[in-house]
Structure 1
């Protein structure tokens, strides 16, 4: 693995106690207030997430990411309501208590501040952010990296123990506006803005 940062720590090893890990994704059903929510009881939603988590653990995965995948179409960060943070915090806490493996949180679309709040409330060890630095055009429109405000919010929470895993050249949109820069350069920007790990997507 090529080093892109001079920091001595390794977030994967710090969180999981090993150098290579398999991380599964818990795609939560639609939560109340999402367009595809059809009135399911909250216990039914939580139970569906728990069943997926149990299957992942039984399959030998080392970690899980909790994601509000059912909330399609995804809102931009400034339009995500507090209900999403509340529901995801409950899911994360329940899975953390039952699964016994490290958890991460990804709030779609590109919302690291709610993700930090959920991780802090629910006991997750890291967050995933699709666009941490720079910008791109996604299904939701123009998406800017939110590293500066997110890291200040992490400091406000005293949540420096919660790591940031950031996508490089995320697969969900067009990068034409940064096409004059290489993927290597964009990846180094993640390290420069203090991401703790880099995710490569197809």
Structure 2
């Protein structure tokens, strides 16, 4: 399967019939599937894939918007090309500059601009492309990805509830997956576990059981583990706990690390995780607001030693 193949397709091609499949050992209805790392390898043409971020600047309507739609598109193309040239295995587009974020329902003009920018990335790089609409607008992410021919979405709160600086965010897995079906969008869902910049609403919302819920009840195709905030690393003990949860609950699902990965830590992280999503460390001077540095991308990819 080449770089243009559907993300996690060998694992989740039948995701929408998962609940009609064989009864699993946990009493739920889930089919057997390949090991998560083999899924990633067949999808991204890499054993443990590195997904690089295209952080969009403030979009029209945001307080810090710079006044040039064409500059937004040009920057997206530039970063996508630098990521591909540096050797990443996939790209994720995110409205990172749109602070303060809408909680879970961005305006239509944000969807429109993100669709245009994501399409520019799809055309600029021959890599799988995904979308994350901050803070937690999964419907918008699905709509953008489907219209732009992207292949996956990231959802910060897919199931359960989290307390954030935007207030309480609630997962809408039931709406997200039904929207995919309704608009015939063959997209994979990467769901955060204990997502950064948030705290659990209840004592069990950051637990192992909540991770299992995202996969078994929310039908997420992969889970993303992150540190406390953007650029903050994940404690390896917490990452190992997530892997133990996967084994305990029999979850055939990839685990990716979604924050704080650097050229100095990527080797250790990928000795435990199945993949990484990297943003800050790939930017010039390691500053999140700067353009992607092809040199820094290459250094991190080489340090991964996969």
Q: TM-score, normalised by structure 2?
A: 0.61
| Matching residue of 2:112 | 86
Residues 171, 150 of structure 1: alpha-carbon distance in 2 compared, 3 angstrom cutoff: same
Q: Report the CA distance between 1:17 and its aligned residue.
A: 3.9
Any unmatched runs of 5+ in structure 1? none
Say which SS state the counterpart of residue 158 (structure 1) adopts: coil
The partner residue of 1:185 within 191, 209, 214 is 209
Aligned to 2:149: 123
Q: How does 1:2-17 map to 2 (within 5 A)?
A: 7-8=32-33, 10=36, 12-13=40-41, 15-17=43-45
Q: 1:138 to 1:20 in 2, by over 3 A?
A: same
Q: 1:1-202 maps to which residues of 2 (within 5 A)? A: 7-8=32-33, 10=36, 12-13=40-41, 15-39=43-67, 41-78=68-105, 80-159=106-185, 161-175=186-200, 177-180=201-204, 183-192=207-216, 193-202=218-227
| Structure 1 CA distance for aligned equivalents of residues 170 and 204 of structure 2 | 17
Number of corresponding residues: 195
Runs of 4+ in 1 over 6 A off after TM superposition: none
* Unmatched 5+ stretches in structure 2: 1-25, 228-306
Quick one: structure 1 residues 7 and 163, their matched pair in 2 at CA, closer, same or farther if it must change by over 3 Å?
A: farther
Q: Secondary structure at the match of 1:24?
A: strand
CA contact (8 A) 1:129 1:167 kept: yes
**Deviation of the 1:92 alpha carbon:** 1.0
Instruction: Give yes or no for contact 1:12–1:197 (8 Å, CA) kept in 2.
Output: no
Deviations 1:24-75 (A, max 9, x none): 1111011101111132x21111111111111111111000100000110000
Q: Distance in 2 between matches of 1:158 and 1:112?
A: 15
- Partners of 1:104 and 1:119 lie apart in 2 by 7
Question: Structure 2 vs 1, CA of residues 115 and 186 (structure 1 numbering), >3 Å: closer, same or farther?
Answer: same
Q: Deviations over 1:144-190 (max 9, x none)?
A: 0011111111111111x210000001011111x23236631111011
Distance 1:169 1:148 in 2: 19
Q: Is the 8 A contact 1:15 1:125 kept in 2?
A: no
- The structure with the larger Rg is 2
Q: What is the CA–CA distance in structure 2 between the aligned matches of 1:166 and 1:180, rounded to whole Å?
A: 17
CA contact (8 A) 1:24 1:61 kept: yes
